[in-house]
Amino acid sequence: MSEFGKVAVLLGGDSAEREVSLRSGQAVVKALRNAGIDAHAFDPAHNPLAELKEQGFDRAFNVLHGRGGEDGTIQGALHYLGVPYTGSGVLACALAMDKVKTKQIWQASGLPVAPSVVVQKGQTLDYQMLLGELGGKVMVKPAQEGSSIGMSSAANAEQLEQALALAFEFDHEVLVESWLTGPEYTVALLGNKALPVIRLETTHEFYDYDAKYQASDTQYHCPAGLHEVEENALRHLAEVAFASLDGAGWGRIDVMCDKAGNYRLLEANMVPGMTEKSLVPMAAKAAGMSFEQLVVAILRHSEG
């Protein structure tokens, strides 16, 4: 498809999610080439970004996950170079990468989120009091990591101390959130419109890195088993949550239910995984789109 010219698929990078990004990128390169597009893998960890212009690339398909690729950094660099790219812009990516800032915006927008507390590295805490404030069991998350890296649960003071120590290995700021009992859903967005909802089911305590990328018993239900009214409400919630962060092109919103069955927004993903186990391709398939059609549609939404 000559309308796109020469396309660089940005993959790899140097974040904690490098291996997942490499798998995503290789799948995207293959699909784009199968669709007749002149696509080439480009790893910024090995090649200076200036080579994008030197090698005559017309646009970039970004599948760099995590810091550097999903936090507005690469988006700003591509904008400066004048290379159109897929997905959201600098502001949306910077906001979505930061779970604390994302949550603050959703709260200010009147959108449903779980109760939480932000903890800074070095801060003195009463672990028991914090657990009491948040219902007795919590999820601990580094503010700026993806793929569930550095996340763990805690139900007593000793566990909370250990969970915070783990999270602080990845970030200086950590989100401590009330434990949600599920079920867990994810909603992919394409062209700012929600695709069919996926319900996640794992034998793990939560949908962690292993459950996402390595476990063979994680189940994905699409259709999600919701009544039409519930499905439409959840899709609409995801669209509003995505738009509130200035999201564009494509992305994914993760949601869980509390014990009363109310939806609670978890986080936004502006460069979701595109591996063989990834969720956006699964949702697109349920909407009648092949993987090739999906990547071409994402590329078509690329902007400078």
Distance between CA atoms of residues 137 and 215, nearest Å? 25
CB 69 within 8 A of CB 21: yes
- Provide the 3-class DSSP secondary structure of residue 246: coil
First-to-final CA distance of the chain: 19
Q: Which of 116, 148, 244, 278 is catalytic?
A: 278
**Do 252 and 70 form a contact (C-beta atoms < 8 A)?**
no
DSSP 193-234: EEPPPEEEE-SSSS--HHHHHT-S--EEESS-S--HHHHHHH
The catalytic position among 21, 147, 178, 244 is 147
Task: Enter the tokens of residue 191.
Answer: 């062209």
3 is in an annotated binding site: no
- 221 alpha-carbon distance from chain centroid: 19
Task: Exactly one of 17, 70, 145, 231 is catalytic; name it.
Answer: 17
Mode of pairing for the β-strands spanning 6-10 and 59-62 = parallel
Residue 17 appears among annotated catalytic residues = yes
Contact call for residues 131 and 158 (beta carbons, < 8 A): no
- Non-local CB neighbours of 287 within 8 Å, separated by 6+ positions: 195, 196
- Could you identify the residue written with the tokens 């867990």? 184
Residue 254 assigned ligand-binding role: yes
Residue with tokens 């189940």: 219
CB 84 within 8 A of CB 8: no
147 is catalytic: yes
> Which residues are annotated as part of the binding site?
254, 267, 269
**Residue list, annotated binding site for Mg(2+):** 254, 267, 269
Catalytic residues: 17, 147, 278
